Structure 1
Amino acid sequence: MMTTILAFAILCVSTLLVLGNLRMVAHDTYVAVTEAAGRLRRSGNPGAKLAFAALWVLIFALSFLL
């Protein structure tokens, strides 16, 4: 019971911190995606890297959905 309460409190605090800094989180995400896209265009084989990224997204998505 105490572990559940502690986990819920940590979840609530983390959510409040993210929501309090939502503009900064969105800006940092935009910068990271923009830089990653630029590096992907400059690299030699973007198809392989995109396939690898899609594989990891698929793995994480299926782990949450199943």
Structure 2
Amino acid sequence: MTEQSNRPTFRLYTVTGDGDHTRWTDIGVAWRTRDGKGFTLSLNALPLNGRIVMREAKPKEEEAAA
């Protein structure tokens, strides 16, 4: 396994609605555990409804272009 960095490897979102009415709200970040068998989550908010989606984090330059 490669050395773990301080930069989170995943972003966490709460997703509500469907289709054109879908709303994604950034709620935190996640890293793989050192043994690679789990994840450490750091949440800024906890959704009361909807679902949580974990996506690979992109460099800030790629996020700005999206």
TM-score, structure 1 normalization:
0.18
TM-score, structure 2 normalization:
0.18
More helix by share: 1
Q: Which has the higher contact order (CA 8 A, sep 6+)?
A: 2
Which structure is larger by alpha-carbon Rg, 1 or 2? 1
